Structure 1
Amino acid sequence: MIVLLPPSETKRPGGEGPALALDSLSSPSLQPLRGELVDELIELSADRPASRQALGISPSQDGEIDRNAALRTAPTMPAVHRYTGVLYDALDVGSLRGAAAERAVARLAVVSALFGLLRADDRIPAYRLSATSRLPQRPTLAARWRPALEPVLTELAARELVVDLRSGSYAALGKMAGAVTAEVIAEHADGRRTVVSHFNKAHKGRLARALASTRSEPTDAGAVAAVARRAGMRVERRGDHLTVVVPA
Structure 2
Amino acid sequence: MPFLVLLPPSEGKADAPEGAPVELGALSLPGLTAARGRVLDALVELCRGDEDTAAEVLGLSKGLRGEISRNAGLRTAGTLPAGELYTGVLYDALGLAKLDQAAYARAERSVLVFSGLWGAVRLSDRIPAYRCSGGVKLPPLGALGAYWRRETAEVLPAEADGLVLDLRSSAYAASWKPAGELIGRTATVRVLQEKDGKRSVVSHFNKATKGRLVRDLLNSGAEPSTPGELLDVLGGLGYTVEVAAQGTARKPWQLDVVVTEIH
Q: What is the TM-score with the length of structure 1 in the denominator?
A: 0.92
* Equivalent residue, structure 2, for 1:231: 237
Q: Distance between the aligned counterparts of 1:15 and 1:103, measured in 2?
A: 26
Per-residue deviation, 1:103: 1.6
Q: 1:18 to 1:197 in 2, by over 3 A?
A: same
Matches within 5 A, 1:17-32: 18-32=20-34
User: Which runs of at least 4 in structure 1 moved beyond 6 Å after TM superposition?
Assistant: none
* Equivalent residue, structure 1, for 2:249: none
Q: Distance between the aligned counterparts of 1:98 and 1:230, measured in 2?
A: 23
* Equivalent residue, structure 2, for 1:163: 165
Per-residue deviation, 1:226: 3.0
* Equivalent residue, structure 2, for 1:188: 195
Native 8 Å contact 1:150 1:174 kept in 2:
yes
SS at match of 1:244: strand
- 2:153 matches 1:140: no
Q: Distance between the aligned counterparts of 2:140 and 2:151, measured in 1?
A: 20
Gaps of 5+ in 2: 247-252
Aligned with 1:200 (options 189, 199, 206): 206
What CA deviation, in whole Å up to 9, does each residue of 1:116-138 have, x standing for no partner? 12111111110010011122344
Q: What is the TM-score with the length of structure 2 in the denominator?
A: 0.87
Per-residue deviation, 1:17: 5.9
* Equivalent residue, structure 2, for 1:105: 108
SS at match of 1:84: coil
Per-residue deviation, 1:139: 1.7
Native 8 Å contact 1:110 1:119 kept in 2:
yes
SS at match of 1:184: strand
Aligned with 1:13 (options 12, 15, 18): 15
Residues matched between the structures, number:
246
Aligned with 1:35 (options 23, 34, 37): 37
Native 8 Å contact 1:234 1:246 kept in 2:
yes
Q: 1:112 to 1:183 in 2, by over 3 A?
A: same
* Equivalent residue, structure 1, for 2:130: 127
Q: Percent identity?
A: 46
Native 8 Å contact 1:184 1:243 kept in 2:
yes
Q: 1:209 to 1:17 in 2, by over 3 A?
A: farther
Amino acid at match of 1:71: L
Per-residue deviation, 1:216: 1.8
Greater mean alpha carbon deviation, residues 217-226 or residues 50-59: 217-226
Native 8 Å contact 1:15 1:125 kept in 2:
no
SS at match of 2:10: coil
- 2:255 matches 1:242: yes
